[in-house]
Amino acid sequence: AAIGQIDGNLRAAILRDLPERAPSFFMIDIQPGQLDRFLAIARAQPGVERVETAPMLRGVITRINGRPATEVAGDHWVVRGDRGVSFAAAPPPGTRITAGRWWPPDWRGEPQMSFAEEEAREIGLRLGDTVTVNILGRDITYRVTSFREVDFSSAGIGFVMVVDPASVAGAPHSSIATVYARPEAEAPLLRALAAEMPNVTAIRVREVISRAAELFGLLAAATRWAAAATLVTGIAVLVGTAAAAVRARAYEAAVLKTLGASRGQVLASLLAGWLLLGLAAAAVALVAGAGGAWAVLHFVMDVPYRFAAPAALGVLALGLAATLGAGAAFAREPLRVRPARLLRARE
């Protein structure tokens, strides 16, 4: 049951995390003076459907509310090494602010920051807290004024931190871009960009996601084989239990026949007993399996756990069918036993 739950959750996580519409390319190292020309080249190519850009610097979170960042956030990934930092006078298109508000377009006051909501919750950030970021050797202390929903699984542009433009005015930076294009437009676009902007690096997102999906598929297949092996073992244990109980069932059948029960009533009684045995085993497997699967997914794989009903019901149905099938197969001896001989032997 535990392997079935892990398998179901892994396959759900794979389908949930792979973006439905990923960009074709992720472009980096676009210099400020190249941005307009880059957009013109990309948008002029037939088959290019959408281009998104954002300025980017690199920064390290050094302090949170005046305390060392690692004391507050522990070993969270946002405080390990440098992170991409963007700046914008207004919320970028598609931004969903979940708490607080964006700074005015012409803001020149205290440095302000919008933080990714999920990561903020994980490290305990609240609106009004301060975050000190070292950008190009300069410590800048920002006031957190809003939280945003950031979906990193979309493979699009997403930043944990977006700051007001005035706080980094004059700082050297580059831009990044995502390009959504039809497959036949990818090669011409790369040739056109390489001819004029050899410094711009293009990362094939579609290819990376395809390889990731292939690896995830292999992982899911491995868990399915493990689930099949454990299921066969479990069924063998249930069959063995039914075989070991034949003597006890024979005595029960003899007593029932002595009391006047028909052959059909004896068979129904035996099957009811095996059904109860199967249900008890199923209940234990369900509770223990769900708990074990949650522990493995939460502590080992860092995957959210959701009860996978189809996997659980499938395993339990097979277990019950195996128990009843074994019970019916081993019911021949209890049914053909002669009550008088067996009861005298027990005395």
Tell me: the pLDDT tens digits for 276-296? 777 777 777 777 777 877 777
Domain assignment present for residue 116? The answer is: yes
Are both 234 and 172 inside the same structural domain? no
Domain assignment present for residue 21? The answer is: no
Are both 252 and 183 inside the same structural domain? no
Q: Which of 136, 171, 198 is a domain's end point?
A: 198
pLDDT at residue number 15: 58
* Nearest partner of 331 among 273, 279, 281, 261, judged by Cα: 273
Are both 271 and 333 inside the same structural domain? yes
Are both 47 and 127 inside the same structural domain? yes
* Nearest partner of 301 among 214, 192, 219, judged by Cα: 219
Distance between CA 322 and CA 284 in Å, rounded? 16
Task: Mention every residue, 6+ apart, whose C-beta is less than 8 A from residue 59.
Answer: 82, 83, 85, 133, 134, 135, 161
For the chain, how many structural domains are there in total? 2
Are both 134 and 259 inside the same structural domain? no
Signed CA dihedral, 187, 193, 194, 196: sign only: positive
Local confidence band at 129 (pLDDT 50, 70, 90 cut-offs) = very high
Are both 310 and 225 inside the same structural domain? yes
Domain assignment present for residue 2? The answer is: no
Domain assignment present for residue 44? The answer is: yes
Are both 119 and 80 inside the same structural domain? yes
- What are the structure tokens assigned to 287, written together? 């509770």
Q: Which structural domain range is residue 241 located in?
A: 217-346
Q: Which of 198, 232, 248 is a domain's end point?
A: 198
Stronger pLDDT, 265 or 189, i.e. the higher one:
189
pLDDT at residue number 4: 63
Are both 148 and 48 inside the same structural domain? yes
Local confidence band at 261 (pLDDT 50, 70, 90 cut-offs) = low
Are both 175 and 315 inside the same structural domain? no
Q: CA-based Rg of the chain, rounded to a whole angstrom?
A: 32
Distance between CA 134 and CA 142 in Å, rounded? 11
Is the CB of residue 135 less than 8 Å from the CB of residue 57? yes
Q: b or e along 64-82 (b: 16 or more beta carbons within 10 Å of the residue's beta carbon)?
A: bbeeebeebbeeeebbeee
Local confidence band at 59 (pLDDT 50, 70, 90 cut-offs) = very high
Residue matched to tokens 């454990």: 230
Is the CB of residue 114 less than 8 Å from the CB of residue 148? yes
Domain assignment present for residue 238? The answer is: yes
Domain assignment present for residue 50? The answer is: yes
Q: Which residues pair with 67 in a beta bridge?
A: 64
DSSP 299: I
Domain assignment present for residue 320? The answer is: yes
Domain assignment present for residue 122? The answer is: yes
Are both 248 and 279 inside the same structural domain? yes
Is the pTM for the entire model greater than 0.85? no
Report how far Cα 80 is from the mean position of its chain's Cα atoms: 22
DSSP 88: -
Q: Which of 198, 231, 266 is a domain's end point?
A: 198
Distance between CA 257 and CA 334 in Å, rounded? 10
Q: What is the mean pLDDT of residues 130-155?
A: 92
Are both 54 and 190 inside the same structural domain? yes
Are both 252 and 112 inside the same structural domain? no
CA dist list (Å): 148 to 111, 198, 217, 292 = 17, 34, 32, 34
